[in-house]
Amino acid sequence: MLNFDFYNPTQILFGKGQIAALAKLIPADTRVLLLYGGGSIKQNGVFDEVMGALAGHEVLEFSGIEPNPSYETLMRAIELVKRENIGYLLAVGGGSVIDGTKFVAAGALLDEDPWSIFDKRSANVLSALPFGVVLTLPATGSEMNSGGVVTRRATHEKRSFASRKLYPAFSILDPSTTYSLPTRQVGNGVVDAFAHVMEQYLTYPVGAKVQDRFAEGLLLTLIEEGPKALSDPEDYDVRANVMWCATLALNGLIGAGVPQDWATHMIGHELTALYNLDHAQTLAVILPNMLRLRKEAKREKLLQFAARVWDLHGGDEDTRIEAAITRMEQFFEQMGVKTRLGDYGLKADHIDQVIAALEAHRMVKLGERRDVTLDVSRKVLEMSL
């Protein structure tokens, strides 16, 4: 097992009716800014439930945080926070709203352009406004971690940040708020959580038996529950399991003490920034061939994945590995997320642009062994056409 430093102070309030706890969780003597996305929370009742719980508070609103939240939009939120003397932020939504809120929480206290967070690798985030979360879309895990991703529309850059100052103080996870999610978001969320686990699990063995078992437990649960979330959208326990899986997939626990990959995510970010694919779509396209191409370096864990997650024991090693990857692809398709670049209208002549973007962002040595060069990334993209 590798040495690690695990810290996660976010309080999780999980279950039906937990939104009412907001009244006590947020201090009454400060102005609150409620941040959200496109307004679905006004249709499904969550907005009213939140405002009801905050009846004793002074609440302002900032709406319109888009999927893959933009620097341009978030700078307007930062201006509002400063102008209105906001003391507490409340993100109501999914990963984009939460990531955006983290950027606002840090950026509002900076004297320099908040974009500097990326160039300084968050070293200038010495403090942040306190913030909480009401999660309505299980997927990214942002509700219980300290990182985020922000896109600069003007330059097509999608950049990530993380700081120990940016854990939510609390996150409320009520699975029943996810009943009304569109099918596409449910499928994306399950694929996203699955890929998060794989980036931390599917590397090489370091004798970290608990982390492996926990990662496999999350994968098995996503495989069992994901399809049910599509077929029976109001099954509470199914939604609860998917929601808790997505949070635990990226809260630091399964990644503590093990090597981590993340090459798939880095290539995926470029596909989203350039062509606006959903985040999960990029992962469903890239991950399977990333594993195929790097089969030798990942052989031991691929065999473990085949045996423990897909119950594949017969045949020679290569057959088992290919069967496991194919089963994973089929699972992504079952969740409604297509797995070929062609499914999204992308062709061979787009690849140069993706490679150029990776090079521009210095993503030239990716993966747990830093051996995913631009050539490797190019091959994975070619295999995924």
12 lies in the site for a copy of itself, by CB under 8 A: yes
Cα 82 to Cα 113: distance, rounded to the nearest angstrom:
14
Pick the closer one to a copy of itself by CB: 166 or 341.
Answer: 166
225 lies in the site for a copy of itself, by CB under 8 A: yes
Cα 171 to Cα 222: distance, rounded to the nearest angstrom:
21
Cα 208 to Cα 205: distance, rounded to the nearest angstrom:
7
Residue 242: helix, strand or coil by DSSP? helix
Cα 312 to Cα 320: distance, rounded to the nearest angstrom:
6
Rule CB under 8 A: choose which of 151, 241, 272, 289 binds a copy of itself.
241
Rule CB under 8 A: choose which of 36, 47, 214, 332 binds a copy of itself.
214
CB of 135: closest distance to a copy of itself in angstroms? Answer: 14
Pick the closer one to a copy of itself by CB: 74 or 198.
Answer: 198
Of the candidate spans 52-60, 153-161, 213-221, 319-327, the one that interacts with a copy of itself by CB under 8 A turns out to be 213-221
Residue 376 has a CB neighbour count (10 Å cut-off) of 18
111 lies in the site for a copy of itself, by CB under 8 A: no
Cα 363 to Cα 348: distance, rounded to the nearest angstrom:
20
Return the closest-CA partner of residue 289 out of 195, 382, 380, 196. 380
CB of 3: closest distance to a copy of itself in angstroms? Answer: 3
For a copy of itself, what does the binding mask look like between residues 247 and 266, x meaning CB under 8 A?
Answer: -x----x--xx---------
Cα 359 to Cα 124: distance, rounded to the nearest angstrom:
25
Pick the closer one to a copy of itself by CB: 234 or 352.
Answer: 234
Beta bridge partners of 148: 161
Cα 22 to Cα 1: distance, rounded to the nearest angstrom:
39
178 lies in the site for a copy of itself, by CB under 8 A: no
Rule CB under 8 A: choose which of 86, 193, 245, 287 binds a copy of itself.
245
Say if CB 128 and CB 166 are below 8 A apart.
yes
Total number of residues binding a copy of itself (CB under 8 A)? 42
Residue 212: helix, strand or coil by DSSP? helix
229 lies in the site for a copy of itself, by CB under 8 A: no
The footprint of a copy of itself (CB under 8 A) covers 1-18, 206-210, 213-214, 216-218, 220-221, 224-225, 236-237, 240-241, 244-245, 248, 253, 256-257
